[in-house]
Amino acid sequence: MGSAKRIALLGPPGAGKGTLAKRMIETWGLEHLSTGDILRDEVARGTDLGLKAKGAMDAGELVSDDIIINMIRGRIESASQGFLLDGFPRTVAQAEALADISELDAVISIALSRDEVVARLTARRVCGQCGRIYNLAFQPPADPTVCDACGGDLTQRDDDKEEVISNRYDVYAESTAPLIDFYRGHGILHEVDGSKGSAIVFEAVTELLG
């Protein structure tokens, strides 16, 4: 993969970041740095940062940038084979703080329209019995109301309703647009069309990163 070893991945909900991240990590041996996973791990291990984060979450507050950045700092410093940031940075302020820790070689932004995001996520169904997840558009069960695996009822989660997804998209677009401009200005932003399907998206990223 050329010389690109320090990569950040951006994209709205439902854009396929998780699938792309998995393939990039398997292919290039990068350390996967997902802020959600790191946060849960620090809390579970009871580290100083984890205890501070848990205190904020228990109080119903957002975990501060300082805590998140310090968690990321330690993981970046130990990622000798390179890293893939997933879910961070989310704002220009976070991007500027990240620049003090490590430079990035590339930022991959998966572009997907609001209509496509809504179509993908409203088609998601979850089995209430075994927890298996289906998508009526991409991975449909034989019966859209019944789980193939266990026969349980398939339902739509509240956070997969159209109005909720539209709001999540708007929040993402509003907070991330300045971030995309920030990295475009630094000449390291690469945009890919997320509507093309995971295999084509991965091929495009492979070409971009050489």
157 is annotated as an active-site residue: yes
Among the options 6, 52, 75, 124, which is catalytic? 124
Among the options 22, 23, 73, 90, which is catalytic? 90
Query: 154 — phi, psi (to 5°)?
Result: -95, 135
Among the options 5, 6, 17, 120, which is catalytic? 17
114 is annotated as an active-site residue: no
Our CA angle for 206, 209, 210, nearest 5°, is 80
Q: Which residues lie closer than 8 Å to 60 by C-beta, 6 or more apart? A: none
Among the options 23, 132, 168, 196, which is catalytic? 168
52 is annotated as an active-site residue: no
CA distance 162 to 152: 24
17 is annotated as an active-site residue: yes
CA distance 109 to 15: 10
Q: What is the per-residue DSSP string for 62-99?
A: PPPHHHHHHHHHHHHHT-TT-EEEES---SHHHHHHHH
Q: Which two tokens stand for residue 180?
A: 């995309």
Which residues carry out catalysis? 17, 90, 124, 157, 168
